[in-house]
Amino acid sequence: MWLLLLAVLAGLYLLRRWLREQQQVPGLTDKFVLVTGCDSGFGQLLAQQLDARGLRVLAACLTEPGAARLRAAASPRLHTLLLDVTRSESVAAAATFVRERVGDRGLWGLVNNAGLVHPVAPNEWLRKEDFAQVLDVNLLGLVDVTLAMLPLVRRARGRIVNVASILGRIAFYGGGYCPSKYGVEAFSDSLRRELQPFGVHVAIVEPGYFHTGMTDISYNLKELERLWEQARPDVRESYGQPYYESCKERAAAGGQRTLPRSPCSSSPCSSSPSSPVREFFAESLRTRCSSNLALVTGCMEHALTAAHPRTRYSAGWDARLRYIPLSYLPTALADRLLAPPLARPAQAP
């Protein structure tokens, strides 16, 4: 009886939530939205989606060819601008451009989508400049753009949508990407609380693994080779060639549905023995990324257009069923489940 009652209450709660989330903001065709990183991937698709819904899209691209491609695929309502989020003068020029377009109506939506993944490698292979390169785009650039646009968003009592990642919940590999996304989560949380009195809503989108330019396998392999070659001789000696080769094998398997032959079969491994549970959590690092980018852009669109948006959006089943739950596990258990099947470093005791 009690189980039945709980099931009914849960069903009613989910129904109420679903009905609330179907309600839309009125007057969308009069609202301006700025989206960064629109040369390709999520940003390009989102700009087209919002344009198709009649919103006034201001699409920020890093390059003119990227902007031209987007203009050719969109309606005359969509305007493009060039923006390098790592240069404050470019951000200031973009703020002036947006201010002239929106006028007294303000900026309804800001989507901080521009991002960079590489360099990605074991931390000891990298230099300070490698970390700074990614942090400058993913975190400091996002902060700079947000601060520049805040007066316009406050005027419209609008929305800010920051693209984080499941890697802002749990870190898989070295480099600046994971720290940058942890930073996006922290900045978004503090910003959300500060802007609540102004009627501004801040949402975080946490995608899982999706097939974009950032997940291109051939590019990942070239980057890994470059970083191994730039590592200090003593570092390469400490890790050894078999360790590097196992890193390459793992990166090359990123687009395969089946698991490759583990380097553990020919080299002693530092990780724990394989198990079905551990393989379940490690699998998406070696399986094909989702090509359905609309799962992510749909979350962004809902955060901008719904009368009752969510605070956090998890995009992709791997994010919802694997990595977000994994982030709540005890650290020691998460470490065992995520330990990659790499060759043991040459000088590991």
Helices (H), the chain: 2-21, 41-52, 64-73, 88-102, 128-135, 142-156, 177-195, 217-230, 233-239, 241-252, 276-282, 294-305, 317-318, 324-326, 331-338
CB neighbour class for 236 (10 Å; exposed up to 12, middle 13-18, buried from 19): middle
Q: How far is CA 4 from CA 9, 10, 14, 18, 221, in A?
A: 9, 10, 15, 21, 53
Phi-psi region of 103 (alpha: psi -120 to 50; beta: other; left: phi over 0): left
Phi, psi at 122, each rounded to 5°: -50, 135
313 catalytic? Reply is: no
Whose tokens are 């720290």? That residue is 179
- Report which of 156, 237, 251, 240 is spatially closest to residue 200, judged by C-alpha positions: 156
Helix axes 88-102, 142-156, angle to 10 degrees: 20
Distance CA 244, CA 343 (A): 8
293 DSSP 8-state letter: T
- Report which of 54, 53, 49 is spatially closest to residue 70, judged by C-alpha positions: 49
Q: For the chain, how big is the Rg over CA atoms in Å?
A: 22
The count of other CB atoms within 10 Å of the CB of residue 178 is 20
- Residue 310 has which token pair? 């969510």
Of 13, 177, 182, 239, which residue is the catalytic one? 177
- Which residues are part of the catalytic machinery? 177
